[in-house]
Structure 1
Amino acid sequence: MKRELRRILTAAGLLAGLCSPSHAFMEGFIDQEDGYFDMSDWLVNRKGFLPVPIVITEPAVGYGGGLALMFVRNSMRESAERAAQTGHMVPPDIFVVGAAGTENGTRAAFGGGMVSFDEDRWRWRGGVARTDVNLEFYGIGGALDGVDRSLGYSLDGWISSQKVLRRLGESNYWFGARWIYIDFDSKLALDGRLSRLLPDEMSQKSSGLGLALEHDSRDNIFTPSTGWVGAIDAMFYEPDFGSDTTFQSYRGHVFAYWPLAKTLVLGGRADMRAARGRVPFYQMPFIDLRGVPAQRYQDENTAVLEAELRWDFTPRWAAIGFVGTGRAWGRRTNFSEGDDVLTKGVGFRYLLAKKLGLWAGLDYARGPEEDVFYIQVGSAWR
């Protein structure tokens, strides 16, 4: 067993550019208490530049991958020392650049980061990406179901998201301001027979300012077992802000976690999104569930409920079961007329970093039209 672990570690070291022939290097990835593979010490103490492989399994764009170069300015250990002084767990400052692609021709290059400052009273999260994404459009409210099932389209251009958060006193609540800028050349495989079914809003540029109120009392930012995180966001896109059209987007979500027993954790997710005004078709809300391709079910309003049960059947291994439902409505139907989208699935997790409470694994989800595999690192909910 240990020989196999060493082979895995050697391959991982080569992939990350960190391979060393020394016995001490590989022993650093073995937990001294149980003898299992564990990345705690490497993640807790490591800082500087780290190569990170990217694996993509999103059915909307197909399988793919890429590579990111991450710079960690302060280690997890240093963050823990700061937390002892401030009373709050301060995430490490991280910057990243990378590129990825998928089998359907989607390509993206990106850069971004997250920074905490002033004793974690302020946080910044932001990123910029250059994308060429190929997707399928199914019509708002499923308008294309009776004609052609979908139309291919591409989004070629730039997107930027910048967010600043301020802690409210010494609480777990944060007040934030956000700016989103999108400049896409959207190309749709359109003919005259279908134009009447498509939205008029084909704008190339969206620029909006927004506000957010967030709460985060999770016991762990990676794989929580108790507490909850939630937010209310509102974005306003106006020509005065540089947008081609006027519209608004809203989101309210809560992810909560309850320990039912020492080895059982129940998670619940409620997520609602809405858009009003002349919304570009690619920015309309969509049902976001495992087992459903991104952008598959779109409308002016969407609501999602999902539950997940994790059973830690050994200290290192866990089984996952989940079920979710979503509904989209607004353009052609009211809420009661909207059709439910049901998904379910199973998965497994391995405790990858015991000191950080970081679990990783694989999910198998069955949606209304296809079965999908997802690689998960930390929580599946974003």
Structure 2
Amino acid sequence: MSARRRSISFALFGAALGFATIATGPAKGFDFNIFVDPEDNYIDASAFLARGGFIPVPVIITEPAVDGGFGIIGQFVRTPEHPGDQPPRTMIGIAKTGNGSTAGGILRSGNMRDGSVRYKYGFGAADMTMPIFPFGLDQSVDYHNKNLAGFANMRMRLGESDFWTGPRLIYRQTDVSLGEDADLGPVASRVRDQINNLFDSKQYIALGASLHYDTRNNPLSPTDGINGVLRLDFYDDAFGSDADFRVGQGALASFTPFGEDWSLGILSKYKWTNGDNPFFTLPSVDLRGVQSGRYSGDAAYSTEVELRRQFTPRWAGVVFGGYGESFVSHTKLYDAEGDIWAYGAGVRYKLARKIGLDVGLDLAKGPEESIFYIQFGHAWGRDMD
């Protein structure tokens, strides 16, 4: 699945059982006792996950860039041996979108050496149709990307500190072409064919490194602490890459509780590229309420603020707002865009109390449209890694 696109939101088990079931309140009459927390008699997945159970996870694709869609993920999640560690997780899934795109893959993450080493690896394949918005126009142009990809990364704790660092490996083989259009005239058709010939089938291979700082009280749905991530990936023909370029990203998330029931989160991130990179690797503004890839350039900045109110031990509400802008230095495909605002609200339910896992629903409004999201863990989970 595309590492760049925020096209898929997960609803672990909450979607499988139905939010309607959860919303009825205490599950006193529920027959499957393993899914009931004896502490409060509410639906809870902690005991089932602790046994290494298999959960079929519906994939609800709410991204307008691919016209929505649906899929299924088989997910195994284990309770970590040490409190605060990343829960070991294996995911195998497939998905199909409203515009005919398909994707499938496997992802594994876990810990080694008493939690002092964390790792993540995965591979997948996708046949995607995605829009781009060239030259600052409102009209999109579709492109097709047949993509085989794999990645692996590892990070090690530096002594007894809250810093982690380690290497990264990324492999991607792509076959990109612009979409067919029966209304194109002969000249425009020839231009399209020339562009398609430039793309052809290529592979992109990167070696990189990352530095992490992590003091979160929970890696899945934090309400306190800081998570900072700095990544730098080098694509180079010395590694077998068909293009030489660099991709870097810095992200800083901060969570501050105040009072007994309130928490404020702030996420800021900046992604940049340079070199001979293909257009589909260019950064874009990433906010809830903004279509994926809508505002792209050589660099992009996004910041989002989220205020959380805990109403009961299980239920919480969030309101959020964000700002973004894109920057252009050498690409001729995009124009710089600024003053991109988005906002929204959502609801959360603590589905697995013992590991602090929330699921939820968000509705966000951006410059062009409103977008609905189903969240598994925190909405910023992918940026916090």
TM-score by length of 2: 0.83
2:227–2:252: 8 Å Cα contact kept in structure 1?
Answer: yes
1:251–1:274: 8 Å Cα contact kept in structure 2?
Answer: yes
- Paired with 1:273 and 1:172, the residues of 2 have a C-alpha distance of 23
- Counterpart mapping for 1:1-382 below 5 A: 12=17, 26-43=32-49, 45-72=50-77, 75-76=78-79, 79-80=80-81, 83=82, 89-139=84-134, 143=135, 145=137, 149-189=139-179, 202=199, 204-331=202-329, 338-381=337-380, 382=382
Q: Deviations over 1:197-256 (max 9, x none)?
A: x99984732111111111111001111110011111111111111111111111000111
Secondary structure of the residue that 1:60 maps to in structure 2? helix
Deviation beyond 4 Å, 4+ runs, structure 1: 190-196, 198-201
Q: Deviations over 1:111-157 (max 9, x none)?
A: 12113212222222011011011110112xxx051xx7111111112
Quote how far apart the aligned CAs of 1:67 are: 1.6
Q: Deviations over 1:15-62 (max 9, x none)?
A: xxxxxxxx885233233333322222222x221544322222122112
Percent identity reads: 36
1:214–1:232: 8 Å Cα contact kept in structure 2?
Answer: yes
Q: Indicate how the Cα distance of structure 1 residues 366 and 121 shifts in structure 2: closer, same or farther if over 3 A, else same.
A: same
Secondary structure of the residue that 2:47 maps to in structure 1? helix
Secondary structure of the residue that 2:17 maps to in structure 1? helix
Q: Indicate how the Cα distance of structure 1 residues 31 and 249 shifts in structure 2: closer, same or farther if over 3 A, else same.
A: same
2:102–2:127: 8 Å Cα contact kept in structure 1?
Answer: yes
Q: Which runs of 5+ in 1 are unaligned?
A: 1-7, 14-22
Quote how far apart the aligned CAs of 1:320 are: 0.9
Letter in structure 2 aligned against 1:226: D
Q: Deviations over 1:44-93 (max 9, x none)?
A: x2215443222221221122221222345xx41xx34xx2xxxx633343
- Paired with 2:171 and 2:141, the residues of 1 have a C-alpha distance of 25
2:177–2:196: 8 Å Cα contact kept in structure 1?
Answer: no
Tell me how many residue pairs correspond in the alignment. Answer: 346
1:172–1:215: 8 Å Cα contact kept in structure 2?
Answer: yes
- Paired with 1:170 and 1:62, the residues of 2 have a C-alpha distance of 47
Q: Equivalent residue for 1:19? A: none
Letter in structure 2 aligned against 1:163: N
Q: Which runs of 5+ in 2 are unaligned?
A: 1-12, 19-28
Letter in structure 2 aligned against 1:96: M
1:137–1:295: 8 Å Cα contact kept in structure 2?
Answer: yes
- Paired with 1:294 and 1:41, the residues of 2 have a C-alpha distance of 36
- Paired with 2:206 and 2:312, the residues of 1 have a C-alpha distance of 47
TM-score by length of 1: 0.83
Q: Indicate how the Cα distance of structure 1 residues 216 and 261 shifts in structure 2: closer, same or farther if over 3 A, else same.
A: same
Secondary structure of the residue that 2:93 maps to in structure 1? strand
- Paired with 1:241 and 1:24, the residues of 2 have a C-alpha distance of 56
2:272–2:300: 8 Å Cα contact kept in structure 1?
Answer: yes
- Paired with 2:117 and 2:146, the residues of 1 have a C-alpha distance of 33
Letter in structure 1 aligned against 2:365: R
Secondary structure of the residue that 1:205 maps to in structure 2? strand
Q: Deviations over 1:287-312 (max 9, x none)?
A: 11111111111000111111000111
Q: Indicate how the Cα distance of structure 1 residues 318 and 338 shifts in structure 2: closer, same or farther if over 3 A, else same.
A: same
2:30–2:36: 8 Å Cα contact kept in structure 1?
Answer: no
2:84–2:219: 8 Å Cα contact kept in structure 1?
Answer: no
